Structure formats: structure tokens, C-alpha cells
Amino acid sequence: MPLRAKVVKPARKRRKAKWVGKGHWLRRRLRLQRAKKLKKLVNKKRRRIRHRDERQDTPVPVSIAGYQPPEGAQLEEQDTILHKLYRSMLLDGEGFVRELHRQVLHRDASDQEAAELTQQLSSGTDKVHIAELVMLSEEAQRLYEQPFLSAGRSNRDTIGAIINQAYASSHLFFVHFLYYELLSRLPEESELRGHMEHLVRGVPRSHLIRAFLLSEECRGLLSSHEPPRRPVKYLRNPSDPSTGEVSIGIFMGFPHVTPLDGEGIGRFSIRLIDGMLSTWDRLKVYITTTETNYDEYHKIFARQLEQYAGRLVLMKSDSMETINRTVPVHVWLVPYVGLELAVYLQRPYVLCLHDLVYLHFKELYFRKSPEFCDWMERVVYRMAERAAAVVFNSDYIKRKEGMEYLGLQEPKTQVIRLASPQDEYNFMGLVPEAEFRIKYGLADEYIVFPSVIRFHKNHSRLIESFIAYKKIKPSRLQLVITDQLTPDGLNSDLYGELGRYPAELLASVRFIGRLPSGELPALYKYAKGTIVPTLFEGSCPFPILESLTMGTPVAAGRLEVTQEVIRDMEAFITFNPYSVSEMVAAIAQLDQPQAALAVRQQAAIQETLQRTWSHVAGEYTQLLEHVGKAN
């Protein structure tokens, strides 16, 4: 290959740099930055348009109120007793002993206790048996049985406090509690029966705790190399959202026999279900209850079950595991704060908190019903804490119970006011007057207070006022009360007080018992007037709305919660519910022939009377839809 001569190019002359001012470079830099920013914005817009087009090409199923967490999403519960024990057992000997004392007994172990138990561990005793010794000691037992106010509230997340919260609950709840807290699951029907039989026969609850703690299943979970799985809170939507059908559950898992006919919770549930199903064709409602109450509730909801066949279903089970697995709902409604089994529902629930009356009369209720108040204190925090939303019937109760007492945050609360029973009463029709009066022995004129006997309902002062009025103006007027008077239970004080009145005057006070819902319109319609002396209500007293729906005038105590709904109280006969003299004057006004009084009162709350249960149901359905989507 011939060699080529290397060509040497002449060197290029370097151009002399032209001097430019500083401002020129700044302007150039700004232009470049603006161009770069503009390019980014253009590219971002192009990507957004491309993604929008892709979404439009893919059809998305529409769900009205479906509970639709992301694929595979599972929201987990807080640590159970099992998890706290597992973490404690990861500590060395003395550290484990001291942590166990802090968790169970709310104190540190003494040096002697720590030394003795550490020595047992060194001698081969396993940690589960040490946990048994501490958790079932006499000191621990006393803590479990203490009132929640002194034992549970200050250390709510410890093992001792968790057991304390459940120790006063029903047998059915306690068995669920042990499965959930010590085995990280819920019991099947077959597993429930044996434990329930033991508790009914009087086996101490501490024996059941020991049996669960020392069980092979619990030991296996505690000795696992990985932490025990936490119970799943929310499961995926059980139905196909593309159908557009919305399924709502109404949880009525009362563990004991609990009559609903004539009770506020029963009337509330019936009216709400009617409002929901009569307005929304795509809605399906599942009522779940326990074996104990199934037959009674089937009678109460008989009309609705027939009218909405296929869209209203009544189911029964004592096992929350069975309910979670077989009831295909998106979201639950819990109509009473005492339905504590609801904390084991595996789909979100909305809690109706009508009121916590014992908080407003602590001295009276804690003295008269300490067991009930203690149990409610243990339940209400847990129920409200685990609820996805809490509904109140008035701003007053939302502020007092929800915000001040329970410490709920505003976004979790909702006020949904009740409505008049106009549609329901129109559907029921009226029992003929003669038939109604003969059945209840009401041949003479009467005024009525339709309420069960409770401390805050003020029956004692009402009867005293009525007897005083009868002494001033003898007549055949009767006072009708819709409850039975018995010498025991909640009625014992009232029963004893009535002995001081002359028999001939007391005969005009009639206790006719709780009426079936279908007879309530007649009770109001044929009365001369309705008197509502209650000292407290969670919303505008319902007898006011019921009575005026039937065109019967009302006399009512002056309450803050009533004035939220009735802005113009001048049309009403009002009185101080603590004043006998004012109540006597109110009875005298009701006893006067005032044909136009009911008309004036109806006009004063016309807007409230026009609100129907379809409106109430619409607001509940909207909230349930929101909760279902959010979770």
C-alpha cells in the first residue's frame, strides 16, 4: 500500500472574542429557561391528553354506593392482645416480666416479682405460663372487674384495659372477644355453642381466658417466627358494582331478648327502611339479628318483608364470622350504640348515636343503674372509634356527646334530623274509636304521654302535677301512660311514690302498656291532648311530631334541643319540666276546648311536618354511599 504524504493544514486564526455586556447573557439565559419550561408544559399536556383518551377507550363500571377498595387492599385493625403478647415475648427474661406487668397490671414489677418470675423462666417455664400467672392473678381479676372510668380509660391500649372493656359485656360478645383478641379470628357457629353453654352454666370468665391462652392454636401463633396476622377490617365488595345495585345492612345483633315494638329504635328502623325502599328501586336491605330475636323481629317487620319481597331480607346468626361471610352488603347501618358486636363487622359501618342520656343525669343514673352505665362507658368509645361515620339527630347531641365527650372530629360526624310519620300513619289507617277505647278501657277523655318509664322521662313529676290539677278541678279526665307499672326494675321508685296519693285520684292515671305501632295513630287521634314533660331528649321529642300529625295539640317542656326545630314556641303550651305549678297550668290549658290550637301549632312547625322519612332515608343513603366509596 503506497504511503501518502501527510498534509499539514495551515492553522486557523482564532477569532477575537467580541465583548458583550453582562445584560446580554442574562437575557439569553432567561430565554433558554422560558423555552425549557414551555417545552415541559407542552409535553405534560400531551401526556394528559393521551392518558385521557386511553381512559375513555376503557369502559369503567359505575357503582352508586359500592364499597370498593383498590384491588387487594385490606385495612387492618389495631394490635390485639395476641400481638402485644407476641412483642413482649421477644424481650429477654426480666424485660418480658416487666413489660407484662405494665401491660396487664398497669404498674412495674417489684424487684422480688421480677426475680421470682425470671428464675422460673431460667428453670424452663415457658413465657405463656408466665403470662397466664400474671393475666389470671387476683390483682388482674380485680382490675378487669373495676368500672371502666377507673380502670380502662387512662390506659386504653394495654392488655388489662382491653380485657376490662369487654368484661362487663354479654356472654356472646365475650366469646367473640376472646377469639378475636387471642386467636386473631372470629368464631364459627359450632365453636360458639360450647363456650356459651359453659358461661351460661356459671363457668368463670377467667377460666375461658386460660383455656384460650393455653390452647394449641394460641401457642402456635405466639411461637411463630413471623408476627401473627392481624384480623382484616374491610373485605372487598361482595357484589358486582356494574349492576348498579346497592346493598345496605342494618345490624340488630342484640345478644339478649330485646323487644322493638313500641320502642324508639324499632320505630326508627321501620320508618327508615320504608323510606329507603320506597324511594330507591336499586336498593336492597339486609336486616341481621341473633337467633334469640329472629322470630320477634320477623313479626315486627312482617309488612315490610311482604311489601318489599326480594329487596328486604331478614337473616339470623350468632356468629359474626357467618354474618361477614354470608351477608352481601357494601356498608352497614348500626341503629343503636349498644350493639357492640358491630365492632366485628368486616365492612364499614355508620353508627346512629341518638343520645347518651346517662351523661346528662350522672348522679341519678350512676346511682340507680351503675351496671348499665359502666357497661355503656366501656362500649361507646369502642363503637364510635371504629365507626366510619357517626350520625346525630340534633346539633345539641353532636356537640355534647360527639365533640365534647367522645372527642370526635368534625368530618366523622353528621346531623340527620328525624321526620314526622305522616306517610306511615296514612298507610296504617285508624283503628275505629269505639274499638280502641273498649280495648284499653278509655271511656272518658284523656291526655297522653306516650313513653316508656325512664328516670329522665319525668313521670313522677307529671303524675304529681296531674293529681294536683284533679284536686283543683275534679273531672273524669284521665292521664294515659304507655308502659306497665311494676314494683321492680326501673319502675320501682315510681311504684313506691304512687302510694302517697288517694286511690280515687290515682285511678285516673292509666298505665296501658306498650302499644303496637299500628295503634299509635288512634292513641293520638282520640286524645284531648299530648303532654311531653321529659327532662331530656336527643332530638325534638318525637311525640310532638306524632301528635300534630294526627291533629292533636301538644304541651311540652322547654328544652334546648326542641327549639332547634320549633323556632316559634309561642304557638305551643310550654312549661319548665322541673316546675309542678307550670305543669299544672299546662294541663289546665290542654283540658280547655281549643279547636284552633292544633292548627296554630301545625302552622308553627309546618316545615318540619312536611319533612318525610323519604327525606331522612335520602340523607342516610347519601351518607352510606359516601362511606362505601371512601372505604
Q: Is residue 126 part of a domain?
A: yes
- What pLDDT score does 455 carry? 86
Same domain? For 201 and 249 the reply is no
* Residue of higher predicted confidence among 541 and 232: 541
Q: Would you place residue 331 in the very low, low, confident or very high pLDDT band (cuts 50, 70, 90)? A: very high
Q: Is residue 197 part of a domain?
A: yes
Q: How confident is the model at residue 47 (pLDDT cuts 50, 70, 90)?
A: low
Q: What number is the average pLDDT over the span 285-303?
A: 94
Tell me, yes or no, whether 343 and 433 share the same domain: no
Residue 248 β-bridge partners: 285, 331
Task: Compute the average pLDDT of residues 216-235.
Answer: 81
**pLDDT at site 48:** 54
Average pLDDT value for residue range 29-58: 57
**Range among 75-89, 252-266, 421-435 rated most confident:** 421-435
Q: Is the pLDDT of residue 4 over 50?
A: no
Q: What is the pLDDT of residue 170?
A: 94
Would residue 26 count as lying in a domain?
no
Domain C-terminal end among 373, 394, 415: 415
Say whether pLDDT at 221 is over 80: yes
Do residues 383 and 342 lie in contact, with contact meaning Cβ atoms separated by under 8 Å? yes
Give whole-number Cα distances, 151 to 84, 170, 206, 378, 463, in Å.
19, 19, 17, 10, 41
Indicate whether 246 and 380 sit together in one domain.
yes
- Strand segments, DSSP code E, in 203-352 are 246-252, 283-289, 312-316, 331-334, 349-352
The reply to whether 22 falls in a domain is no
Alpha-carbon distances of 545 from 32, 83, 403, 540, 565, rounded to whole Å: 73, 51, 27, 8, 10
User: 366 falls in which pLDDT band (50, 70, 90)?
Assistant: confident
Which pLDDT score is estimated for 95? 94
Confirm if 559 and 539 have CB atoms less than 8 A apart: no
Note the pLDDT of residue 19: 40
Residue 371 has pLDDT above 60, yes or no: yes
415 burial level (CB within 10 Å; 0-12, 13-18, 19+): middle
The whole-chain average pLDDT of the chain stands at 84
Q: What is the C-alpha separation between 325 and 344, in angstroms, rounded?
A: 12
Q: For residue 487, what is its C-alpha cell?
A: 314494683
Residue 50 has pLDDT above 60, yes or no: no
Domain count, the chain: 3
Same domain? For 593 and 481 the reply is yes
Residue 24 has what pLDDT?
Answer: 55
Whether 171 has a pLDDT exceeding 60, the answer reads yes
- Judgement on whether residues 406 and 432 belong to the same structural domain of the protein: no
Mean pLDDT, rounded, for 103-127: 94
168 within a domain of the structure (yes/no)? yes
CA distance 505 to 497: 14
595 lies in the same domain as 459: yes
pLDDT at 278 over 50: yes
pLDDT classification of 57: cutoffs 50, 70, 90: very low
Q: Is the dihedral of CA 121, 126, 129, 130 positive or negative?
A: positive
* Confidence class for position 493, pLDDT limits 50, 70, 90: confident
d(CA 477, CA 209): 59
Instruction: Indicate whether 211 and 280 sit together in one domain.
Output: no
The answer to whether 280 and 624 have CB atoms below 8 angstroms apart is no
Task: Give a yes or no: residue 23 inside a domain.
Answer: no
Q: Are residues 265 and 138 in the same domain?
A: no
Which range has highest mean pLDDT (390-399, 536-545, 622-631)?
390-399
Identify whether residues 437 and 401 lie together within a single domain. Answer: no
**Hey, what's the cell of 236?**
372487598
Q: Which domain holds residue 208?
A: 81-222
Where among 390, 415, 440 does a domain terminate?
415
Residue 68 has pLDDT above 60, yes or no: no
Half-sphere exposure of 297 (CA within 13 A, CB side): 26
Is 229 a member of any domain? no
Q: Where are the alpha helices (DSSP H) in 225-314?
A: 264-279, 294-300, 302-307
Instruction: Give the number of residues written for the chain.
Output: 631
- Distance CA(144)–CA(128), nearest Å, equals 20
Low-confidence winner among 129-138, 206-215, 264-273, 379-388 (lowest mean pLDDT): 264-273
The three cell numbers locating residue 68: 370498593
Q: Residue 111: exposed, middle, or buried by beta-carbon count in 10 A (0-12, 13-18, 19+)?
A: exposed
410-455: per-residue pLDDT in tens? 999 999 999 988 888 888 889 999 999 999 999 999 999 998 888 8
Q: In this structure, what are the phi and psi dihedrals at residue 333, rounded to the nearest 5 degrees?
A: -115, 125
pLDDT digits (tens, 9 = 90+) for 174-191: 999 999 999 999 999 999
556-603 pLDDT, tens per residue?
999 988 888 887 788 899 999 999 999 999 999 999 877 789 999 999
As a whole number of angstroms, the distance between CA 497 and CA 208 comes to: 44
Q: Tell me what pLDDT residue 43 has.
A: 66
* Mean pLDDT on 589-618: 89
Task: Looking at the structure, tell me whether residues 320 and 360 fall in a common domain.
Answer: yes
Neighbours of 265 (CB within 10 A): 17
Q: What is the value of pTM for the model shown?
A: 0.80
What is the CATH classification number for the domain harbouring 339? Answer: 3.40.50.2000
Residues 407 and 491 in one domain: no
Q: Are 345 and 320 in contact (CB under 8 A)?
A: yes
What are the backbone angles phi and psi of residue 252, rounded to the nearest 5°?
A: -130, 50
Amino acid identity, position 561 = V
Q: Which of 190, 222, 254 is the last residue in one of the domains? A: 222
Q: Which of 348-352, 511-515, 537-541 has the lowest mean pLDDT?
A: 537-541
Q: Are 495 and 363 within one domain?
A: no
Residue 422 included in any domain: no
Q: What CATH number should be reported for the domain holding residue 174?
A: 1.10.3130
